[in-house]
Structures are given as structure tokens and as C-alpha cells.
Structure 1
């Protein structure tokens, strides 16, 4: 086909953050003719079923301690019960608004949108569930991922993260299965909202893959706040109270102590949305977990087909998907081959307290060569004044030879906000001496990052 024989220069499958950004930039900045198909709600996991509603729930849960803390600062506030129904209504209104923003952005950029499921028929043809077909010179898959349930009997009676935003009422008790960031974030959220939370994780410590010292502190603080965390524990059986599947669940764990829970949440993993899209017949290669295999330019084994975001299972973060989409557009429509940069990506886990991290963990850095570790743990001023037991952690990992800061790990209130700024310095290759040369902002928690003069340990 000649170029003018295609319906579109680019057809995007998926209306999440990565796909929408790629479509908008290709159409708005490069005058490409772009179509986009989304079978569900525009905004994708982040806006509709992930980052945004979750963060709003984090905010809501954070008010649980305000009344008691305020008394220590001279305020006499009155506590009241959390109103899930009222909060949920405001939450849904906000999500509707954001979805409208996404639709408007696409429309204003000149992107044609189709509320339909898409399958790829051939390297240049997309078949939509409305019965139509669209041709395109390039196809970009940005279909995201989804939470999965374990393969045990009655697993369909348990919740996954998507379901939490649609609960008619909060349970009195919940069992959360898993130890990743989604499991831990929702454990903290629900605990803060007054739910009795129990968490089982089969591993020796939660948040596998993150810095050991940092994740240990998060676990300690979660337990301090009342979360019943059981490590080295998994679920064996789950049985509903009634034959129709209703009522509390009786759960038998590997530690042998059966218990009843109003709800069970499975936060045991996610899977790329690559099923039933015609990919394998097309020649697109999939990995063991269903992820689409791509090169450094997000190109699949089929030259006209690209993929970005969670469906590729590289770094499953919204800002990364957006940057992958931008690199794709620059490569394909900007004439400037741009590999995706996945190095030194800062991230945050919205537990209570939060964890912010960028670069290497102490354990990973130790394997790469000689390092110095600068770490301090203390009670922050606000919490200490109110008599709270919460502690924070500020930690730098430094290469002993080059003095470059290889990693930073923060466990503290608003650690996500802090790590964004530190991420700039680490990405620039700042040295420990450059950190030291920066004047402290006093009194703050983060001033510790520029006042630690002597290493805590070396390796």
C-alpha cells in the first residue's frame, strides 16, 4: 500500500496514559492522521483503576490520625466515622472528570477515537468489535495489564485491586494476599479507613526487590499501625459461609490457623493485556507471562507494530509508559531514532509512611563494587512532638571509587515528593561531595540527605 492508501498513519490500541500521549503528540505535533481504540474507559489503569483513585484513598486514610495529633498541637477536633459512600461518590465524580479530560485532549489533537475492542488482523489492519476495519502504516499497542487471581478453588469470590473502587461498603475485616507494593498500599489504606487488616505474604519480607533496610522499616511501621502482617504465609483454602458464595470467607493458611474474613483481596500479580489480539498469528513474540517482546525502540518482531507500557512488562509505571510513547513518536514520526531510557527511574510506594527510591539498593550496589552507605533513622519533629512512634529513614548508597551517588532510599511522610527532587541529582550523576556542598534546609527531615558526613558502613 502507498501511504495515502492507509486510513491512518498511526493506529493506537489502548486509551491509557501512554497510548493517549503517543496519539496526541503524533497528531498534534507531527500532523499524523491518528486513530485510537479503547474498549473500556479512557485514562487506563492509572486514571481509572490505579494511581489516581488509589492516591485519593491514601489521602482519605491519612486523616485517621489527625484528631489525636491535632490535640498535641492545641487543637480540639472532633472525630467522626469515615463515610465511604460520600467519599466514593466524590471519587467517581473526579474520575468521570478526568476521563472527560482525556477524551477532550484526543479530540482537540485531531485523533479519531473508537469505543471498541481491537484485534490486529495483519501488519497494517486493525479489526474493531463494531465490525469495522481500519488500516494504518504503524500500529501501537498500549493495552496495559490487569490483576490476576491465583489458581485456587473459590478464587473468583475474592477481590482484586480493580474491585476495591467499586465496593458498596467497606468490610469490617479483610485478608490481603501478597507482599508487593499494591498489597502493601491497600493494607495501609484500608487500615487507615478503619478496616481490620490481615496480610499474608509467602516471602521472608514484603516489597521484594527494594532496599532491604527500607522495606524492613515499612513492614515495621505497618505493624506498628495495627496491620496483622504474617510473613512466610500463604493461603491454602478459601471457603464462603454460604453455598451461593456470600458471607464471610473462612481461610486456611499455611500456618494452620483458620480465620474468618469479610473479604479477601488477591494482590498476587498482574498480567499484560495481550490475549486474543491476534498477536502470535501475526508473528509478534510474547514472553512467558504474555508480555509483548520489543527492542529498545519499542518495536516488535513485526516492523509496523510497536508496543509500550505495561503490556511490555518492562517498568510498569505510568510516567515510564508516557516516556516510551514519546520516544516511539520521536523515532517513527520525528525521524530521530530514540531508545527508551529505563535507567535511574525514581518511584514511590504510597504506604504509610511512604517509600521513595531511585537507583540501586544497597544489596545490588554491593555486588557491583565497593560502596559506602550513609543512613540515618530518627523520629521526625512533627510526629515526635505528638508522641508518635513513627520513624523515618534517609539513605544514600555511594560508589567508593567514583563518589557518585548510586541510589537513594527514603521512608518518610511524603517520600514520593522528596524522591522526585533527589532523582534529578542522582540522574545527573551527582557525587556525595556535591550533596555535602548543598546547604541544608532546616528544620526538615530531608536535610539529613546533605548532612551525613561519615559512612554508616562500607562494603
Structure 2
């Protein structure tokens, strides 16, 4: 079968990274096509960052109700209508899907609907039609999964399923210790759901500096989230009927010789957030020389090159810094290099800021204390840390903590890590991330006049 069309650039996957790269390539005059089997915008727009932030905002309004009372408002809330929020949220996402498609049309990027599979290193097939391209980008992302435990597949949901819920469960179980599980637990708990979070270790958010996980966990437990540590799921069963769920979960809980089997009952929903897997299976990578790691993520170098000369990979499918802005930045820089006459264009994966939309929010930029000690030597690392109550809570009965930590290295005390927890951390971190990327030192931060009274002023006044 002869190739139907020859392109300069063929992008597989219309998520944030793929769309950004396709549009940038087209802006340079390249002939570009993008292949997508689902909704445009990928995980972030449809079942990730965007709808998650909407639900976090709803939960934040719930958090604010007792705060308003502390400031003298006679507030009474009759109810919360989950279905109304879902309906409006879904309509908002649908509009974003349309914006993605229209922006591609404006840039003259051809959209091809369907699943792509490689026929050879220069050709992919979609719905029986073959397309050839000089350069091919794989940006197919990743997907949530459910462990192979009896009853889990039948009765459990992934984080994707969270966005399909058309009601607010009265009692919910979440399994996982990463930021997705923590974020969903915070949303449910703030909205009044009896929430239990099962984690394998004593801590969650273990990819972040310990100060973040410790502070968020203490705050969650104080807010009523039940956290079951050292837990390994053995089974899920439904003791209810076809109308109402009554899910029971059996866990092995504990460590070493102290493990015991324990049952937890009465859940309306069980949601798994135990990690993600690369979306590579349909691609038929065997006809190429592309290498994957033991988790099926595509191995790509710092230039986004795979070991197939004309095939590249960006975003979650590489398993590296799995964040939407990273995929966008990497995709754009790749197109700058391939089509924009910018041969040195590539993304630096150092000092990438990231935020956890927990309650309260947390953020991190740079390396952890442990990583700093390994890289620079413990004697060359200095830690500045502060814990206080944000003035926002001056008159409220419930007071969330704020904890800030600076990790500095060398005689000049260059800031190599910033880890913050507390109200507004998501917004505060962005500006400081610029400074960290520019190599800011502790003395330079100290020389900056504080904005008073704010929480962020603590970052330029720590001793």
C-alpha cells in the first residue's frame, strides 16, 4: 500500500505536548499532521489538571465556609450539588476541546482521527490509510491503571473514573500515595465525604521533600482524613445490591512480622491512583528500533531523540517529569530545532517547578535536602526553615499551617531547592522558580524588600 500523503512532521497524540509541537512546527511553514483517537487536549484537559483544578476550587469554597464565620459572616449553606458542578465542568472542557481543534486548523495542521501504528520508521497507518513523514513525534501520553487484585478491576475506578462520577459519595476509599491520590482525598474530604486513604508506606508524596509530605499528612489527619499506612490490597468485594454499592476491601496492614489482615467496609466508591503506564502498546514499535524501559516508557535523550533517527518522543510517554508544561515546553523546543533553525534548542529538566493541589497547596522547585546532600556534600548544604500560621487564619477557629524550606549550597548559598506548603503556595512558587532558575542566592533573597503582611515575605526574611 503506497503512502497517501507525505508530511514534514507527523505528530501522534493531540495532548498538550503534541499540539504545542505541531503548532510550532506549522508556524515555520512545515507541512504537519496530528493523529488522535480520543478527545483533543489529552489527559490534562480532559481527565487531569484542568478538571482537577475545578474540583479543587469547589472544595476550596467548602474550606472557606468556616473561615467566613470566623470573620463575622452569618453563613448558612443548604447543600452542595455535585451534578451541577460536573455539568458545568464538562461543558467547559468541551469548549476547550473545540479551541484545541480550531487552533490546529488556524495553523493549517491536518487532523487525522484514529489510532496510529508504525508500518516502518517513516510510515504510520491509521484506519487502513498510510502516512509517511520525514519526522515523527510520539506524544501519546500515559494512562491510569488498576492493579490485578481480585475484585479491583470489577469494582474500582481510576482517577479518570473520578471525573465520570455523577454524585458525591458519602464514603470513599482511595489507594495510592502520590500527588493524584492526595489531591483527590483532599477534594472529597473538604466536600464532606468520609474519606480513607490507603498508602503502602508511612509517608505519602515520597517523590517530594519530606517536609511537604509530613506537613500535608498532619493537616489531612487533623481535618478528618483516615490514612491507613503500610497497607497492601488483597481484595475488593461488593456486599450491596444492583442499586446501592457497599464495597468492602481487605488489606494486609503493617510491616514485617506485624502484618495483619484487616477489612474496611461501607465504601460507595474505590478509586485507584497507583501510578500511570505509557501509552505505547497500539504503536507497533517492534517495526522500529525504538527502545523502551522496563515500564514501557520510551527512552529519549535530552534532545527528545529516540534511537530511531527521525522519531522523537515528548511528555508522559517518556516517563520523565510527567507534567503538562514540561511536555509543552519540550515539544515547542523540539520543533524550534527541527524547523526553526535553532540547532541548540532543547528543554532543561533542571529546576522544574511543580505544585500539589492539596489542602493546603504545596509546591516544590529544585532538589530535595537528601538530593542536595548527595550532590554537594552535607557540609556544603545549609537549610533554612520556617513554620507559622498565615495571617489569613488570624480570626478563624481552624488554622492551616504554612511551612517553608530553602535548601542552599556552597559558600555563596545558592538556592538549589525551595519547598513550600500553605495557602497560596501554588501562586507563590511561580515567581520564585524564575529566581531559582537564574541562580539566586540566599543573600540576594535577603536583599529583596518584603511585602508585608504576606506569607511569601517569609521567603525573603528567613534566618
**Band of TM-score, shorter chain:** over 0.9
* Residue 368 (structure 2) pairs with residue 361 (structure 1): yes
The residue aligned with 2:277 is: 271
User: Is 2:406 the counterpart of 1:406?
Assistant: no
Q: Distance in 2 between matches of 1:169 and 1:385?
A: 34
Please give the root-mean-square deviation of Cα atoms over the aligned residues, in Å: 1.6
The yes-or-no answer on 1:48 pairing with 2:46 is yes
Q: How many residues align?
A: 448
Q: Does structure 2 retain, via aligned residues, the 8 Å contact 1:177–1:234?
A: no
CA 1:435–1:167 in structure 2 vs 1: closer, same or farther (change >3 Å)?
same
Offset of residue 400 of structure 1:
4.0
The answer as to 2:346 corresponding to 1:339 is yes
Match of 2:26 in 1: 27
Partner of 1:188: 186
Equivalent in the alignment of 2:263: 258
With normalisation by structure 2, the TM-score equals: 0.94
- Is 1:445 equivalent to 2:445 in the alignment? no
State the match for 1:318 in structure 2: 324
- Who is 2:201 aligned against? 203
Deviation at 1:304, TM superposition (A): 1.2
Deviation at 1:254, TM superposition (A): 1.3
Provide the residue aligned with 1:456 in structure 2.
none
Corresponding position of 1:118: 116
Q: 1:136 maps to what in 2?
A: 133
1:285 is paired with a residue of what secondary structure?
A: coil
Q: How big is the shift at 1:97?
A: 0.6
Shift of 1:387: 2.2
250-259 or 13-22, which moves further after superposition?
A: 250-259
The correspondence of residues 31-180 of structure 1 with structure 2, limited to 5 A, is 31-129=29-127, 131-156=128-153, 157-180=155-178
Tell whether the 8 Å contact from 1:6 to 1:137 is kept in structure 2 after alignment: no
**Which has the larger displacement, 427-436 or 329-338?**
329-338
Match of 1:397 in 2: 407
My pick for the range that moved more, 243-252 or 290-299, is: 243-252
Match of 1:433 among 410, 428, 443: 443
Deviations 1:126-179 (A, max 9, x none): 1002x2111111111100000011121112120100011111212111111111
The answer for the alignment partner of 2:428 in structure 1 is 418
Task: Report the secondary structure of 2:111's partner residue.
Answer: strand
- Give how far 1:366 is off: 1.9
CA distance, structure 1, for counterparts of residue 374 and residue 163 of structure 2: 41
The alpha-carbon deviation at position 388 of structure 1 amounts to: 1.6
Of residues 220, 223, 231, the one that matches 1:222 is 220
Deviates more, 1:246-255 or 1:401-410: 246-255
Corresponding residue SS for 1:276: helix
Q: CA deviation at 1:247?
A: 2.1
- Deviation string 1:62-110 (CA, Å, 9 cap, x unpaired) is 1113232112212222212210110001001100010111001000000
- 1:41 and 1:330 map into 2 onto residues whose CA distance is 26
* Conserved 8 A contact 1:43-1:102: yes
**How much does 1:243 deviate?**
8.4
1:276-295 matched pairs, under 5 angstroms: 276-295=282-301
User: Which runs of 5 or more structure 1 residues have no equivalent in the other structure?
Assistant: 454-459
Equivalent of 1:377 in 387, 405, 411: 387
**Whole-angstrom distance in 1 between the partners of 2:288 and 2:116:** 14
Match of 1:13 in 2: 12
Residues 443, 242 of structure 1: alpha-carbon distance in 2 compared, 3 angstrom cutoff:
closer
The separation in 1 between residues aligned to 2:64 and 2:361, in whole angstroms, is 17
Contact 2:205–2:212 (Cα < 8 Å) also in 1: no
What is the aligned partner in structure 1 of residue 256 from structure 2? none
Deviation at 1:340, TM superposition (A): 2.5
Structure 2 residue runs without a partner (length 5+):
254-260
The reply on whether 1:349 has 2:356 as its aligned counterpart is: yes
TM-score with structure 1 setting the length: 0.95
**Does residue 328 in structure 1 map to residue 325 in structure 2?**
no
1:293 alignment partner, SS class: coil
Deviations 1:288-346 (A, max 9, x none): 11101112211111111111100011110000001110121012112323233101001
Contact 2:178 2:206 in 1 (8 A): yes
Does the 8 Å CA contact 1:394/1:446 hold for their aligned counterparts?
no
